[in-house]
């Protein structure tokens, strides 16, 4: 049977459980949840990302709370002290996201459905990678998840760029699991690496390409010169769940393939 009353402290367990047809197990969600849209209408919002309404969560009598990363450690500790079982996933890669789907399915007693769903996600990745491999040239891509300070893209975003046919310009920084490890002191490294495409997914606010283009010296960057500054909505790409491997990946694919078509 598995747990019957689950609180999702972040979006990815919510989206995954809906995709598996197990949404009736969910009794509370994060206020940042946008996928699937019906979750916001159907489920009470009891958490943000770095904070949660512990009393409201306990009132829901959950038998499991699911969250993500060290950032939610304090929330997890409070719930554990109150007697709630908690699973905090901490994956950072595309492979980790697929494995997360399988583990979550097994945890709630629907391993077969989760395996089939994970297999479908992998097929989508393989298709995108095969299409990306056909591009005559792989563009250099800079991904930015915050503007002040400048924070470069996390590992799964860098990997999705590679799958889509591009080359992330900060592969060494993408391996840094915490955002503070991906902070740039200034924009000079971006200028030096001369990306062909800039992807902006600012967490929780709208990407402003005109502000990026106006940064000192950035007019020399090919992406700025050619107007290749593109927003990808943060819920599509910054949550390590199905969205990133589906709509998020397809958004990156569309941008890279359109860029490639303009080079002919």
| Other beta carbons less than 10 A from residue 194's beta carbon | 14
Structure tokens at 39: 């979750």
Give tens-digit pLDDT for 18-57: 999 999 999 999 999 999 999 999 999 999 888 999 999 9
Residue 63's SS3 state is coil
Residue 264 has pLDDT above 80, yes or no: no
**Percent of the chain surpassing pLDDT 70:** 100
Quick one: pLDDT at residue 49?
84
Q: How confident is the model at residue 240 (pLDDT cuts 50, 70, 90)?
A: very high
Residue 238 has pLDDT above 90, yes or no: yes
- Measured CA to CA, the distance from residue 255 to residue 97 in angstroms comes to 23
Quick one: pLDDT at residue 1?
79
- pLDDT mean over 227-244: 96
Q: How confident is the model at residue 76 (pLDDT cuts 50, 70, 90)?
A: very high
Residue 5 has pLDDT above 90, yes or no: yes
Quick one: pLDDT at residue 204?
82
- Four-residue CA torsion sign, 242, 72, 34, 178: negative
Quick one: pLDDT at residue 112?
97
Q: How confident is the model at residue 69 (pLDDT cuts 50, 70, 90)?
A: very high
Q: Give the chain's mean pLDDT.
A: 96
Phi-psi region of 230 (alpha: psi -120 to 50; beta: other; left: phi over 0): beta
Q: In whole angstroms, what separates CA 52 from the centre of its chain?
A: 20
Give tens-digit pLDDT for 120-176: 999 999 999 999 999 999 999 999 999 999 999 999 999 999 999 999 999 999 999
Quick one: pLDDT at residue 239?
93
Helix extents (H) in the chain = 11-19, 37-42, 54-59, 73-81, 94-107, 111-133, 155-164, 171-174, 188-193, 209-213, 222-225, 234-237, 242-243, 249-262
């Amino acid at each position: 049977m598995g747990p019957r009353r689950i609180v999702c402290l972040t979006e990815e367990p919510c989206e995954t459980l809906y995709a598996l047809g197990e949404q009736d197990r969910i009794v509370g969600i994060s206020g940042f949840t946008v996928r699937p849209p019906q979750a916001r209408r159907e489920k009470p919002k009891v958490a943000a990302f770095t904070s949660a309404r512990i009393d409201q969560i306990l009132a829901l009598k959950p038998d499991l709370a699911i969250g993500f990363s060290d950032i939610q450690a304090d929330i997890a500790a409070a719930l554990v002290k109150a007697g709630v079982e908690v699973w905090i996933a901490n994956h950072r890669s595309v492979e980790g996201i697929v494995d997360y789907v399988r583990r979550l399915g097994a945890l709630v007693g629907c391993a077969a459905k989760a395996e089939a769903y994970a297999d479908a996600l992998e097929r989508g990745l393989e298709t995108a990678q095969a299409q990306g491999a056909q591009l005559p040239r792989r563009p250099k891509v800079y991904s930015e998840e915050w503007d002040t300070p400048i924070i470069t893209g996390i590992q799964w975003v860098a990997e999705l760029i590679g799958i889509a046919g591009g080359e992330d310009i900060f592969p060494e920084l993408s391996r840094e699991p915490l955002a503070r490890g991906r902070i740039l002191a200034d924009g000079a490294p971006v200028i030096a690496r001369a990306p062909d495409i800039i992807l902006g997914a600012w967490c929780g606010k709208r990407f402003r390409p005109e502000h990026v283009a106006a940064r000192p010296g950035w007019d020399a960057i090919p992406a700025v010169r050619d107007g290749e500054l593109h927003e990808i909505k943060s819920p599509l790409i910054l949550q390590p769940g199905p969205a990133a491997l589906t709509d998020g990946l397809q958004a990156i694919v569309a941008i890279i393939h359109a860029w490639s078509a303009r080079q002919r």
